[in-house]
Amino acid sequence: MTTPRHVPVLLDRVVALLTPALDHPGAVLVDATLGLGGHSEALLERCELARVVGVDRDPKALELSRERLASYGDRFTTVHAVYDEIPDVLSDLGLTEVDGILFDLGVSSMQLDLPERGFAYAVDAPLDMRMDSSGRSHRPTAADVLNTYDAAELTRVLRDYGEERFARRIADAIVRERASEPFTTSGRLVALLYDVIPAPARRTGGHPAKRTFQALRMEVNDELRVLERAIPAAIDAIGVGGRVVVESYHSLEDRLVKRAFTAATRSDVPDDLPFVPEGHEPALRLVTRGAEQANADEIAENPRAASVRLRAIERVRPRDGKGAAR
């Protein structure tokens, strides 16, 4: 097994956004997508008064991050969970609210860099793509999706999650090919994509398998529906001064985050009212203006940052006008 690399995306900016929320005794950050713990490590180092709860659905990620961050002792705790289970995680830890929650969405560096996980199209490997392969989630593998979904379902997955303009053509080819032999490894799927996608299209927009593999990963792990539940739960979990920071890499993810943040920062008074009465101010405010992106230097150093969209929100008033004990 190869050793995974780990280059956290927009590390300094993420730390800068979360530090004001974590700069007090007893502060708690939930790293909802822990991975190998790169963001958590930087925040533990720079926010010496805070502790971090690292959440991940991938048992291997939890094992590796515990080894990596063992020197921080009880300031670092791991929990095996999916990030839409934040309310249960906090309840089990006896926490009513936290000071920061970080989401770094998509596939982790570790999952991409370990061929046996089946996320990468550069090597021939079993078509798994489950972020949690422990059996806890009961999700289908990528091979299951390819071998059981009908052409219409495959087209939807490839079009909606992969933004693949040849979705129907690819879906028809998959259905045709699996009739003679089920798909089991990534190499055969990549070969099919090279055959099906026209040559001019293959020469632009990156590797021709990139969009299909992204779509399958998002379907296998139910990523959008999980995120749709997770963001409101995270917003509800932060106390006054607390922040939620989200790094997304797909337009549908970013749109969902933007919609949730906009709803949370909207006043409940009519739009035509010339002022906001006291007590009706929004309980949260946007910390970032729109979605921040990586600059050219960051992208050159870490190509995975090319598609990142970063948004942050902060609670400025207690929930429902009442304080909550930490």
Annotated binding site for S-adenosyl-L-methionine: 37-39, 56, 83, 104, 111
Annotated binding site: 37-39, 56, 83, 104, 111
Query: Domain 11-110+223-321 belongs to what architecture?
Result: 3-Layer(aba) Sandwich (3.40)
- What is the pLDDT at residue 120? 62
| Alpha-carbon distance values, 44 to 19, 31, 50, 77, 241 (Å) | 10, 11, 7, 12, 19
Q: CA gyration radius for the chain?
A: 21
Query: pTM of whole model > 0.75?
Result: yes
For the segment 284-324, what is each residue's pLDDT rounded down to a tens digit?
Answer: 999 999 999 999 999 999 888 999 999 999 999 997 644 43
Neighbours of 24 (CB within 10 A): 12
d(CA 324, CA 315): 13
| Alpha-carbon distance values, 308 to 6, 145, 146 (Å) | 16, 27, 28
- What is the pLDDT at residue 12? 95
Q: Where are the domains of the chain?
A: 11-110+223-321, 140-220
Range of lowest pLDDT (100-114, 240-254, 285-299): 100-114
- What is the pLDDT at residue 233? 97
- What is the pLDDT at residue 63? 93
Query: pLDDT confidence of 118, banded at 50, 70, 90?
Result: very low
Please give the residue that has the higher pLDDT: either 281 or 15: 15
Q: What is the CATH number of domain 140-220?
A: 1.10.150.170
For the segment 151-180, what is each residue's pLDDT rounded down to a tens digit?
Answer: 999 999 999 999 999 999 999 999 999 999
For the segment 186-222, what is each residue's pLDDT rounded down to a tens digit?
Answer: 999 999 999 999 988 777 767 888 899 999 999 999 9
Q: Hey, do 11-110+223-321 and 140-220 end up sharing a CATH topology, with the first three levels equal? A: no
